[in-house]
Amino acid sequence: MKKLIVIALLCLGIGRATVGLAQDDATNMEVGVEIPRLNVSEYHRPYVAVWIQDGNRKVVANLAVWYQMKDSSEGAGTKWLPDLRQWWRRSGRSLDLPVDGVSSATRPAGKHKLSLASDDQRLTKLKPGNYELIVEAAREVGGRELVEIPFTWPTDKSVTHKSKGESELGEVTLTLSP
């Protein structure tokens, strides 16, 4: 009898562990980026890059880069991408742009959301550990700002981290949910 209970308990334990693992694999990510409305005489939409880096500041996932993708007399807006200077150094300069699912057009002032489903390759490749979400913005004839949100991956309960920029970025949020 005792033996049976132990086996049952063991089974339960294993069951729990596997359920736990399944949940870990199934963490969704939602990033909120607010571009503030600025009262300036000459306004251009900012270039914005969103990425995840590890403890060694190595980029482990590029979530988005918003820039002028239309052709102009100076070519597509890739000329000004190095103004996102951290992103450019850590990742941008070795990418072949545009990157599918990462590159997109600049956005107007307001709140923007990036949703990554748990089966997104960029998330399935993330090993458990501590990371930072980085949002960097640079604006023509404006300024440049970088906002960081440290987080632990994965999560077994819903959690929302928040940070706020002071000039070129408004509220930045990171929501992880199983």
Partner 1 sequence: MSRLLLSAFVLALLIPVTSEAHKVWLRPSQTVLSGAEPWVTVDAAVSNDLFYFNHFPLRLDGLVITAPDGSSVEAENQSVGKYRSVFDLALKQRGTYRIAVVNHGVFASWEENGERRRWRGNAQSIANEVPAGAKNLSVTESLGRVETFVTNGAPSTESIQPTGKGVELVPLTHPNDLYAGEESKFQFLVNGKPAANMQIELLRGETRYRNSQDALTITTDSKGEFSVRWPEPGMYWLETSTEDSQTEIPQAQSRRLSYAATLEVLPQ
Instruction: With beta carbons less than 8 A apart as the criterion, state whether 49 and 64 touch.
Output: yes
Using CA atoms, how far apart are residues 42 and 59, in angstroms rounded to an integer? 33
- Among positions 39, 41, 56, 94, the unique one binding partner 1 when judged by CB under 8 A: 41
Instruction: Between 23 and 106, name the residue whose CB sits nearer to partner 1.
Output: 106
Partners of 110 in the β-ladder: 35
Give, as ranges, the residues between 55 and 94 that touch partner 1 (CB under 8 A).
74
Taking the complex as a whole, how short is the minimal distance between the CB of residue 141 and partner 1, in angstroms?
Answer: 5
DSSP string of 94-140?
Answer: GS-SSPTTTEE----SEEEEEEE-TT-HHHHTPPSEEEEEEEEEE-T
Question: Per CB under 8 A, does 141 bind partner 1?
Answer: yes
Question: Per CB under 8 A, does 36 bind partner 1?
Answer: no
- Among positions 118, 144, 149, 171, the unique one binding partner 1 when judged by CB under 8 A: 144
Instruction: Between 115 and 167, name the residue whose CB sits nearer to partner 1.
Output: 167
Taking the complex as a whole, how short is the minimal distance between the CB of residue 165 and partner 1, in angstroms?
Answer: 11
Q: How far is CA 108 from the centre of its chain?
A: 19
Which of helix, strand or coil describes residue 171?
A: strand
Taking the complex as a whole, how short is the minimal distance between the CB of residue 168 and partner 1, in angstroms?
Answer: 8
Instruction: Between 114 and 146, name the residue whose CB sits nearer to partner 1.
Output: 146
User: Which helix or strand (DSSP H or E) is residue 7 part of?
Assistant: helix 2-25
- Among positions 104, 145, 163, 178, the unique one binding partner 1 when judged by CB under 8 A: 145
173 phi/psi in degrees, rounded to 5? -125, 150
List residues near partner 1 by CB under 8 A.
41-42, 74, 140-145, 167
